[in-house]
Amino acid sequence: MLSHAFEGYNVCIFAYGQTGAGKSYTMMGRQEPGEEGIIPQLCHDMFRRINDTDASDTVYTVEVSYMEIYCERVRDLLNPQNEKSLRVREHPILGPYVEDLSKLVVTSYRDILQLMEEGNKARTVAATNMNETSSRSHAVFTIVLTQRKHDEHTDLKGEKVSKISLVDLAGSERAESTGAQGQRLKEGANINKSLTTLGKVISALAEVTKENAKDVRRPTRP
């Protein structure tokens, strides 16, 4: 994945499954040696690659954002003071983006760890019958890696931007099986809706790859 990102591709990982399946553990892990999840491991490897590279003509910039989607509301985990729900908008060239989401520049693995910790503290967690600390929200950790190259001989400048999206989805269990009512039931309905839509988007993308040239409509937000 990291190799693809360094080549300039956008990459994404979703953790999907029932509450208690180990999604958050897989993505974030614990703050102990040997217990780190995919996100800290990937960040660690990314900075190791950046620092190890001997290409002095390349300048790397790493920016991080971390948001949470709870009941269709988007919250900035790196700026929890911003209480209002952020708007998802569509850029004609760059595609969908979240307006006003903070994007912080980081220069080391230590920087990222600190932001991750802050963001994790800000996450909404609510108990269901299935798991005390079960998370009823989706969390999206995004890393934007920019590589600027300056060719001495030709004096040409090039830029490669890749986005790494690491998503810890909310539990996929059915609302009835958790015995949820009221707010919990509403959460469940929103989660089911967004997971169903995500499923449709992925099937449509797979369909596009399969049929390639044929026009397949891609569903976006419900």
Ligand X SMILES: Nc1ncnc2c1ncn2[C@@H]1O[C@H](COP(=O)(O)OP(=O)(O)O)[C@@H](O)[C@H]1O
Binding-site sequence positions for ATP:
17-24
CB of 148 to ligand X, least distance (A): 37
Residue whose C-alpha is closest to residue 78's, from 134, 24, 120? 120
Q: Is 111 a catalytic residue?
A: no
Report the phi/psi class of residue 103: left, alpha or beta, with left for phi > 0 and alpha for psi in -120 to 50.
beta
Our finding on whether 80 is near ligand X (CB under 6 A) is no
Determine the Cα–Cα distance for residues 159 and 148; give it in Å rounded to an integer.
Answer: 5
Q: Is 171 a catalytic residue?
A: yes
Evaluate whether 25 touches 179 at the Cβ level (below 8 Å).
Answer: no
Name the segment binding Mg ion (CB under 5 A); options: 53-61, 79-87, 133-141, 205-213: 133-141
Residue 20: which of Mg ion, ligand X, none does it interact with, CB under 5 to 8 A by kind?
ligand X
Q: Is 199 a catalytic residue?
A: no
**Residue from 37, 119, 171, 188 carrying the catalytic annotation:** 171
Our finding on whether 135 is near Mg ion (CB under 5 A) is yes
**Total residue length of the chain:** 222
- Number of other residues whose CB lies within 10 A of the CB of residue 108: 13
Closer CB to Mg ion, 65 or 128, in the complex: 128
Name the segment binding ligand X (CB under 6 A); options: 23-31, 112-120, 143-151, 202-210: 23-31
Residue 128: which of Mg ion, ligand X, none does it interact with, CB under 5 to 8 A by kind?
none
Residue whose C-alpha is closest to residue 77's, from 86, 68, 90? 68
Our finding on whether 134 is near ligand X (CB under 6 A) is yes
Site string for ligand X, 149-188 (x = CB under 6 A): ----------------------x-----------------
Closer CB to ligand X, 21 or 195, in the complex: 21
- Number of other residues whose CB lies within 10 A of the CB of residue 60: 17
- Number of other residues whose CB lies within 10 A of the CB of residue 198: 16
Tokens of residue 142, six digits: 């995004």
Which residues make Cβ contacts (< 8 Å) with residue 1, sequence separation at least 6? Answer: 11, 13, 42, 164
Which residues are known catalytic residues? 20, 22-25, 168, 171
Residue numbers of the site for ligand X (CB under 6 A)?
17, 19-25, 131, 134, 171
Residue numbers of the site for Mg ion (CB under 5 A)?
23-24, 135
